[in-house]
Amino acid sequence: MSTPYAKLPAWADYGLIPLINLCVAFLVAGLVVLLVGENPLRAAGLMIEGAFGRGQYIGYTLYYATSFMFTGLAVAVAFHCGLFNIGGEGQAYIGGLGVAIACLTFDSIFPWWINFPLAILGAAAIGAFWAFIPAILQAKRGSHIVITTIMFNFIAASTMVYLLVDVLKPLGSMAPQTRTFLPDAHLPKLNWVIELFGGTVRSSPFNISFLLALLMAFLVWVLIWRTKLGYEIRTQGHSPKAARYAGISEAKIIIITMMISGALAGMMALNPIMGDQHRVQIDFVTGAGFVGIAVALMGRSHPAGIVPAAILFGALYQGGANLAFEMPNISRDMIVIIQGLVILFAGALEHMLRPQVQALFASFSPRSVGLPAAKTGGA
Amino acid sequence: MDFFNALILVLDSTIRLSVPLLLACLAGLYSERSGIFDIGLEGKMLAGAFAAGAVAYISGSAWGGLAAAILVAVFLALVHGFASITHRGNQIVSGVAINFIAAGSTIILGQAWFAQGGRTPSVDASGRFGPITLPFADSVRDVPVLGPIYSELISGHSLLAYLAFAAVPFTWWVLFRTRFGLRLRAVGENPAAVDTAGISVTWLRYRAVICTGILTGVAGTYLALAMNAGFVKDMSAGRGYIALAALIFAKWKPVPAMLACLLFGFLDAMAIRIGGTPLPFIGRVPVQVIQALPFVLTVILLAGFIGKAIPPRAGGQPYVKER
């Protein structure tokens, strides 16, 4: 993929432009709030208050952020290979099956610190398997991965509903969910960390899978920028032709990348299931797989961008609850709009304001955009 | 005779359920044939349904609802066009964004304007596209076999349903018998050639995207004003994606698109009809299996096991004029 755009300094490329795009997205979201007849500034204030105002709120913010980190990393890894994994939702949903199998089998046998790795393996393995099928179809048969992963989202949803209604539901129970796990399959909370910094937390679902998410962010950075496999993934994503010349097996890279992506998405299931609800319920993913797309786009597919982007979206989710409480006219679905706008402006329209920014830079210092100093004026 | 009546009932609901799929599928056909992938069919349909429900309730006019739905859907289609044609953005990303914006804003605006939990108040008969009884439908009802087929199956659908099925030959004619259609198909296969011929790739693609908007608007109106009596949140319920699957299943051709939509509509009707009752020979089939079938079939097709689905060659790639 050659970029038909002139150069900008790195900090503008990776910092300024995403920030401007984000601002445009929030501006448009503000217009929607105006349309509803509320004050956008007050709405923003309420959201920030609801996300960070109390220790407990911060706990919830970070709890949501944990889920989005996993799915954001999943989307980002696939992006580096030039693949659009839109199936994070389905991979996370079906990953819940792996968590359920591990927890339901071992929760009466092992302590949590053995159950946790087992559940990680289960979630990652099943998530990876769910991404493996679209990957192999893309690699070997050329079926478009976007379409197959969308289809697999629906197939995952049907499969999980069937399993929860007909197979995993305990006898005599009406609700389509598994039995509640025993305490040895509950993850320890991290609320004490917030209390360490002076917050007070009555109860929040913030748990140690947050640390796992941070670890995964680090490992993704190592994988993409510090290993041979990562180099091959980036080569494949940047120029499949160059990858072919370099003797990189296209099929192998596509399949491995998608499986890593699916495994990361699958691990998202650990956070709500083992960390909060302690059982598998219908629709426990609640769109986190799709939020991952926005998070990855905003974070520019770099872990250092994804972690703050995930926290921002966590704050929006938690703050949105507060907003809905204070302004009954605005429900939590406001976040869905913001999410869509962020995807639109940070993703599809990411180059919209670039010419203007470039012209601005060129007028200050032509050298920064790669023009010889003698020539003045924008390109 | 019982079996015959049951069959008529299932086929009747097949037609009703396949109409929104068909409209959305034909909508996608225009866009994708011109080289613009559109996974935002779902969102445009939903936004159209909301506009139709809201305006039909306020104005009491079904046609007003239809006009509003088309307007809103075309606007979203133009946003998609602006991102993917003018700014050469990623078409998939733009489609995803539109789906989210539509899903969120229909609920927010619905709640703010009507305060009924994201739905619009129910629209009375004058504001809906009610069933139309074709001439003689009542008098031939007692004729064996053909009578019920005419009076139950063919007659008694909404005007929009007939419009949807009429749109199939019309689309075929436009795509394969007009100059616009030829150029539309060409721009989806080889935009550089079209550009060389002195025809604007941009304007052609924008027109294709507008066609998509119009048809998704009609699809949304059908959901809100023919199938239901008003807008209910998330009422498109994945139909945009099923339409996308049908489009691939039909290999981007109008008549197969109709057949694919009828097949998926039939599966939907069967899923509703069968529920949990056991089938002869097979035993009890979980409803979820039938619900997942359109998606499974599409994946199998995409894998190349039932013929090969080859998308328009320039699909998904923004056109960059050589400089």
Q: Is residue A10 in some structural domain?
A: no
What distance in Å separates the CA atoms of residue B224 and residue B51, rounded to the nearest whole number? Answer: 9
| Residue-averaged pLDDT of chain A | 89
Residues 6+ positions from B154 with CB-CB distance below 8 Å: B134
Q: Looking at chain B from residue 97 to 116, which residues have their Cβ under 8 Å from any Cβ of chain A?
A: 97-105, 107-109, 111-112
Instruction: Say how many C-beta atoms besides its own lie within 10 A of residue A107's C-beta.
Output: 22
User: A-B interface: how many C-beta pairs under 8 angstroms?
Assistant: 154
Question: With bands split at pLDDT 50, 70 and 90, how would you rate the model's confidence at A235?
Answer: very high
Which stretch of DSSP H or E encloses residue B132?
A: strand B131-132
Q: Do A334 and B238 touch (CB under 8 A)?
A: no
Question: With bands split at pLDDT 50, 70 and 90, how would you rate the model's confidence at A27?
Answer: very high
CATH number, residue A284: 1.10.3470
Q: Do A334 and B108 touch (CB under 8 A)?
A: yes
B285–A contact, CB cutoff 8 A: no
Backbone angles phi, psi at B141, to 5 degrees: -55, -30
Contacts of B82 in chain A (CB under 8 A): 349
Contacts of A75 in chain B (CB under 8 A): none
Q: Which of A211, A192, A202 is nearest to A270 (CA)?
A: A211
What distance in Å separates the CA atoms of residue B11 and residue B15, rounded to the nearest whole number? Answer: 6
Which of B39, B93, B252, B268 best probes binding to A when mutated, by most A CB atoms within 10 angstroms? Answer: B93
Query: Which range marks the domain in which residue B37 is found?
Result: 2-129+137-237
Q: Is residue B108 in some structural domain?
A: yes
Contacts of A166 in chain B (CB under 8 A): 286
Which of A349, A350, A353, A356 best probes binding to B when mutated, by most B CB atoms within 10 angstroms? Answer: A349
Question: With bands split at pLDDT 50, 70 and 90, how would you rate the model's confidence at A376?
Answer: very low
Q: Is residue A47 in some structural domain?
A: no
Q: Is residue B102 in some structural domain?
A: yes
Q: Is residue A21 in some structural domain?
A: no
Answer yes or no: is pLDDT of A136 > 70: yes
B304–A contact, CB cutoff 8 A: yes
Q: Is residue B142 in some structural domain?
A: yes
Q: Is residue A373 in some structural domain?
A: no
Q: Which of A234, A356, A227, A349 is nearest to A297 (CA)?
A: A349
Contacts of A290 in chain B (CB under 8 A): 96, 100
Per-residue pLDDT tens for A311-365?
999 999 899 888 888 887 788 888 899 989 988 998 888 888 888 888 888 888 7
Tell me how close the Cα of B175 comes to any Cα of chain A, in angstroms: 24
Q: Is residue B20 in some structural domain?
A: yes
Structural domains counted in chain A: 1
Q: What is each CA distance from B115 to A36, A159, A325, A328, B204, in whole angstroms?
A: 11, 35, 15, 9, 41
B18 exposed, middle or buried (CB, 10 Å; 0-12, 13-18, 19+)? buried
Mutual orientation of helices A250-267 and A209-226 as an angle, nearest 10°? 160
Q: Is residue A259 in some structural domain?
A: yes
Q: Do A151 and B107 touch (CB under 8 A)?
A: no
Which of B90, B108, B111 best probes binding to A when mutated, by most A CB atoms within 10 angstroms? Answer: B108
Backbone angles phi, psi at A189, to 5 degrees: -80, 160
Among all residues of chain A, which has the CA nearest to that of B94? A348
pLDDT value, residue A203:
83
What is the residue whose two structure tokens read 């038909």? A4
Among all residues of chain A, which has the CA nearest to that of B82? A349
Contacts of A159 in chain B (CB under 8 A): 288, 292
Residue A308 structure tokens:
């703050």
Q: Average pLDDT for residues A64-86, to the nearest whole number?
A: 95
Q: Which of A295, A320, A284 is nearest to A123 (CA)?
A: A284
What is the residue whose two structure tokens read 């080289």? B35
Structural domains counted in chain B: 1
Q: Average pLDDT for residues A139-167, to the nearest whole number?
A: 90
Given a contact cutoff of 8 angstroms between Cβ atoms, the answer to whether B261 and B246 are in contact is yes
pLDDT value, residue B319:
86
Task: Name the amino acid, one letter, at B210.
Answer: I
Question: With bands split at pLDDT 50, 70 and 90, how would you rate the model's confidence at A378?
Answer: very low
Over chain B (323 residues), the average pLDDT of each successive run of 10 is 81 93 96 93 96 93 95 97 92 92 92 84 86 80 78 86 95 96 94 92 95 97 93 89 88 93 88 69 75 84 73 84 68
Instruction: Say how many C-beta atoms besides its own lie within 10 A of residue A369's C-beta.
Output: 22
Residue A15 structure tokens:
């910092």
Per-residue pLDDT tens for A288-313?
999 999 999 888 899 999 999 999 99
Per-residue pLDDT tens for A185-216?
899 998 888 888 877 777 889 999 999 999 99
Q: Is residue B266 in some structural domain?
A: no
pLDDT value, residue A374:
47
Residue B275 structure tokens:
């529920």
pLDDT value, residue A330:
83
Q: Average pLDDT for residues A244-271, to the nearest whole number?
A: 95
Tell me how close the Cα of B284 comes to any Cα of chain A, in angstroms: 12
Instruction: Say how many C-beta atoms besides its own lie within 10 A of residue A109's C-beta.
Output: 10
Backbone angles phi, psi at A86, to 5 degrees: -90, 5
CA angle A50, B233, B52 (to 5 degrees): 125
Residues 6+ positions from A367 with CB-CB distance below 8 Å: A373
DSSP B39: -
**Cα separation of the two ends of chain A:** 21
Q: What is each CA distance from A178 to A82, A270, A272, A285, in whole angstroms?
A: 37, 15, 14, 15
Q: Does this complex have an ipTM over 0.95? A: no
Q: Is residue A232 in some structural domain?
A: yes
What distance in Å separates the CA atoms of residue B269 and residue A253, rounded to the nearest whole number? Answer: 42
pLDDT value, residue B276:
60
Tell me how close the Cα of B267 comes to any Cα of chain A, in angstroms: 14
Q: Determine the 3-state secondary structure of A350 from DSSP.
A: coil
Query: Which range marks the domain in which residue A73 is found?
Result: 55-317
Q: Is residue B313 in some structural domain?
A: no
Residue A20 structure tokens:
């401007």
pLDDT value, residue B193:
92
What distance in Å separates the CA atoms of residue A285 and residue B287, rounded to the nearest whole number? Answer: 22
pLDDT value, residue B282:
65
Answer yes or no: is pLDDT of A35 > 90: no
Q: Which of A369, A367, A358 is nearest to A17 (CA)?
A: A358
Residue B10 structure tokens:
């299932």
Residues 6+ positions from A154 with CB-CB distance below 8 Å: A90, B238, B241, B292, B295
Q: Is residue B39 in some structural domain?
A: yes
Answer yes or no: is pLDDT of A5 > 70: no
Residue A315 structure tokens:
């704050």
Mutual orientation of helices B159-177 and B179-189 as an angle, nearest 10°? 70
Q: Is residue A352 in some structural domain?
A: no
Task: Name the amino acid, one letter, at B149.
Answer: I
Contacts of B300 in chain A (CB under 8 A): none
Q: Is residue B305 in some structural domain?
A: no
Q: What is each CA distance from A379 to A324, A340, A364, A374, B282, in whole angstroms?
A: 47, 32, 13, 13, 69
Task: Categorise residue A171: left if φ over 0, alpha if ψ from -120 to 50, beta otherwise.
Answer: beta
Q: Average pLDDT for residues A235-260, to the nearest whole number?
A: 93
Q: What is each CA distance from A352 to A22, A30, A302, A357, B95, in whole angstroms?
A: 12, 20, 21, 10, 17
DSSP E strand boundaries for chain B? 131-132, 157-158
DSSP secondary structure of B267-299: HHHHHHHHTTPPBTTTBPPPHHHHHHHHHHHHH
Which of B46, B76, B84, B96 best probes binding to A when mutated, by most A CB atoms within 10 angstroms? Answer: B96
Among all residues of chain A, which has the CA nearest to that of B322? A4
Residue B77 structure tokens:
């289609």
